Amino acid sequence: MIPDKAPKEDVFHGSEDLKKEAHITSFENYKELYMKSIENPDEFWGDVAKDFFWKTKHTGQFLDYNFDVTKGEIFVKCMEGASTNISYNLLDRNVHERKLGDKVAFYWEGNEPGDELTVTYRELLQRVCQFANVLKSQGVKKGDRVSIYMPMVVELVVAMLACARIGAVHSIVFAGFSAESLCERIMDSQCSLLITADGFYRGDKLINLKLLADEALQKCRDKGFPIEKCIMLKHLSKEAEETSLGSQSPPAKRSCPDLQEKQTGRVKKTRPVPQVPWNPEVDLCWHALVRGASDECEPEWCGSEDPLFILYTSGSTGKPKGVLHTVSGYMLYTAATFKLVFDYQLDDVYWCTADIGWITGHSYITYGPLANGATSVLFEGLPTYPDVSRMWEIVDKYHVTKFYTAPTAIRLLMKYGSEPVQKYKRESLKVLGTVGEPINPEAWQWYYNVVGERRCPIVDTFWQTETGGHVLTPLPAATPMKPGSATFPFFGVVPAILNESGEELEGPSEGYLVFKQPWPGVMRTVYGNHQRFETTYFKKFPGYYVTGDGCRRDKDGYYWITGRIDDMLNVSGHLLSTAEVESALVEHEAVAEAAVVGRPHPVKGESLYCFVTLADGVTYNRTLEAELKKQVREKIGAIATPDYIQNAPALPKTRSGKIMRRVLRKIACDERDLGDISTLADSSVVEQLFQNRCCTAV
């Protein structure tokens, strides 16, 4: 339960100025509205829904649900009977009803300083309509799945909203994932079309995206799932034809027909660009298609519970889960959380540094901000390129007021001290946010003191791909902050802490974080596998949604996330399943068995420590180590690259053969205090592993 009064001691506050304009001005104000959201959700969410356009109104209850597996199938339905279109609400409504046509929707800032573009709401609407017509002309219909594998460019937003406009379901795959991962996701969601780009730069490194996309499509064909259409955006400049990349570059089969034409010119610096492999039977040129398309497109009116998108997230059994979100609930929830958690005001310039390939980018670069008519920075580059002041340079350049990033980025920049931050003024900043993993108090203090100069509240937002939007979070002018705590629930969210037997714990306690009832933005199913949805989130404790995170509640009622309690790791804010990395390792013929655990890392939060038992007759050496690393990168992507690989002639197992990961975690950290190991089948294995520990990352 939320306390009546906020604590006065050991808490931090933002500046008083913020309170003057804030939507929620005090803790009491928060509590009052929170109670309304729980006691009368229909009225609370009904008020939020009033801001949006509904082609037809909903009938019956605002939220209907079953969270109890013992009572039948799990379901959540929001605003049943209503019909709307999310792209209409994000674009047409802002342009025509709210007269925001000339307002900037995105300031695009490229990887290279000086590469920039500005897109207004009117332009975005036109481009979305054009591309929606392109999709239609390619035969994409309501309900069809479209896979998107693109860098951080405005066209990524255009592609996703064009899907939403015609009722197609987008499935975005982060451009850092490998061809294998893309293939797996395309096949799981049975996509009929892929949208990609020629390539992009991450700092100095060229990523030849089209080559990876082609590889993925070939893998799909080999597995009997041919996709016969691939739309490619030319993001890099027209020098593509003339520049040779030597051995890095694939032999071009034929060139993209439009490649000779003048490029959009946004990538100014002349750099090597990939030669793009081109298969005229499959490949279609984005620019050529758009040129012939009308910029008017009547939206497809969708039912509230029609699917909006699928986004894959790691699952503890290894195979990624296609998290499905639906139209109305997701729209209301991302809009409301964006407005209240960042205390959005019309003249704000908001910047979220996440990639759109993750849920944070879906909810808080595209849907939430655009639903509010906000102006955002869309950044393609890295915090450390060309130098470690880049973030603050951008903050000053666009006068960013609300800034949202990940603890891993904060810890990375903190290493360079305050000087690179203080080179820039940052006077415009009002609210700072974090997401993706627990933030350690030291990083919190640095963010608060150095970046925000003690003026900006920090909203430590806890949520998941599955929750659609923030579920535990401070509100900037209302919630006194405690460094490292995600504080209290957002409106409509009812958390509880359970012990191992499923009993709700009251007062200060620690256990499983669960939610007792749905909010509009919660996921509806795992695409194509409702049973997995029920098993993963609802089976352990009937009647509750189980987050998979551990949590502590302190004497003041504040919630503190303690990290995952399933077999998941959080590396730089990205969730990875140990099972997935293990299966990538054992696919190598030299590996008989593998076990992966997390080891704390000062910047990434956790790093991957892999124990491998080799097949008979194989010897461990540096070449094999490099091959294994490469294997994981190719199977999953660079984010899953092992930091440590240790040769493990045997793994610590129980008598029933279960690997004791708890022991491996201790070995990875060189901690000798192993606790109870009486269930170990052979304890000499442990000593051997301690002796062979790797001390340096590979």
Interacting residue ranges for ligand WTA, rule: CB under 6 A: 313, 358-360, 435-438, 460-465, 486, 547-549, 561, 564, 570, 575
Residue pointed to by tokens 């012939």: 292
Q: Which is nearer to ligand WTA, 263 or 465 (CB)?
A: 465
- What is residue 575's three-state secondary structure? strand
For residues 147 and 181, the answer to whether their CB atoms sit within 8 Å is: no
Residue partners of 20: CB distance under 8 A and separation at least 6: none
> Could you tell me the smallest distance in angstroms from the CB atom of residue 604 to ligand WTA?
13
For residues 164 and 87, the answer to whether their CB atoms sit within 8 Å is: yes
Q: Which is nearer to ligand WTA, 341 or 632 (CB)?
A: 341
Tokens standing for 29?
Answer: 């104000």
For residues 143 and 328, the answer to whether their CB atoms sit within 8 Å is: no
Residue partners of 3: CB distance under 8 A and separation at least 6: 556, 557
> Could you tell me the smallest distance in angstroms from the CB atom of residue 561 to ligand WTA?
4
Tokens standing for 495?
Answer: 């958390």
Q: Which is nearer to ligand WTA, 358 or 515 (CB)?
A: 358
Q: Which is nearer to ligand WTA, 199 or 518 (CB)?
A: 518
Residue 130's φ and ψ, nearest 5 degrees, are -55, -50
Q: Which is nearer to ligand WTA, 217 or 576 (CB)?
A: 576
For residues 45 and 19, the answer to whether their CB atoms sit within 8 Å is: no
Please report which helix (H) or strand (E) contains residue 301, including its range: none
> Could you tell me the smallest distance in angstroms from the CB atom of residue 394 to ligand WTA?
22
Q: How far is CA 154 from CA 238, 361, 365, 374, in A?
A: 18, 12, 11, 15
> Could you tell me the smallest distance in angstroms from the CB atom of residue 173 to ligand WTA?
14
> Could you tell me the smallest distance in angstroms from the CB atom of residue 448 to ligand WTA?
15
Paired residues of 512 in beta bridges: 498, 550
> Could you tell me the smallest distance in angstroms from the CB atom of residue 378 to ligand WTA?
18
Q: Which is nearer to ligand WTA, 379 or 462 (CB)?
A: 462
- For CA atoms 520, 523, 528, 530, the dihedral sign is negative
Q: How far is CA 188 from CA 147, 311, 568, in A?
A: 11, 11, 21
> Could you tell me the smallest distance in angstroms from the CB atom of residue 436 to ligand WTA?
5
Tell which residue, 572, 74, 105, 96, has the closest CA to residue 324: 74
> Could you tell me the smallest distance in angstroms from the CB atom of residue 442 to ligand WTA?
15
Q: Which is nearer to ligand WTA, 300 or 567 (CB)?
A: 567
Q: How far apart are CA 520 and CA 332, in angstroms?
A: 7
Q: How far apart are CA 78 and CA 519, in angstroms?
A: 9
CA 163, chain centre distance (Å)? 19
> Could you tell me the smallest distance in angstroms from the CB atom of residue 544 to ligand WTA?
15
> Could you tell me the smallest distance in angstroms from the CB atom of residue 573 to ligand WTA?
7
Q: Which is nearer to ligand WTA, 304 or 434 (CB)?
A: 434
**What DSSP character marks residue 69?**
G
- For CA atoms 47, 49, 53, 58, the dihedral sign is negative
Q: Which is nearer to ligand WTA, 52 or 463 (CB)?
A: 463
> Could you tell me the smallest distance in angstroms from the CB atom of residue 314 to ligand WTA?
8
Q: Which is nearer to ligand WTA, 436 or 483 (CB)?
A: 436
Q: Which is nearer to ligand WTA, 133 or 572 (CB)?
A: 572
Q: Which is nearer to ligand WTA, 462 or 538 (CB)?
A: 462
> Could you tell me the smallest distance in angstroms from the CB atom of residue 429 to ligand WTA?
19
For residues 450 and 388, the answer to whether their CB atoms sit within 8 Å is: no
Q: Which is nearer to ligand WTA, 125 or 311 (CB)?
A: 311
Q: Which is nearer to ligand WTA, 358 or 392 (CB)?
A: 358
> Could you tell me the smallest distance in angstroms from the CB atom of residue 516 to ligand WTA?
17
For residues 385 and 203, the answer to whether their CB atoms sit within 8 Å is: yes
- What is residue 655's three-state secondary structure? coil
Full DSSP string of 79-107: STT-EE-HHIIIIIIIIIIS--TTSEEEE
For residues 271 and 201, the answer to whether their CB atoms sit within 8 Å is: yes
Q: How far apart are CA 646 and CA 477, in angstroms?
A: 49
> Could you tell me the smallest distance in angstroms from the CB atom of residue 406 to ligand WTA?
9
Burial of 29 (0-12, 13-18, 19+ CB in 10 A): middle
Tokens standing for 199?
Answer: 């390539």
For residues 688 and 650, the answer to whether their CB atoms sit within 8 Å is: yes
Residue pointed to by tokens 């395309």: 186
Strand 559-564: give its sheet, edge to edge.
504-505, 495-498, 509-515, 545-553, 559-564
> Could you tell me the smallest distance in angstroms from the CB atom of residue 358 to ligand WTA?
6
CB-closest chain residue to ligand WTA:
465
Residue 519 CA neighbour count, 13 Å, CB half: 29
Q: Which is nearer to ligand WTA, 360 or 389 (CB)?
A: 360
Q: Which is nearer to ligand WTA, 250 or 563 (CB)?
A: 563
> Could you tell me the smallest distance in angstroms from the CB atom of residue 162 to ligand WTA?
25
Q: How far is CA 659 from CA 650, 663, 666, 680, 685, in A?
A: 10, 9, 13, 9, 12
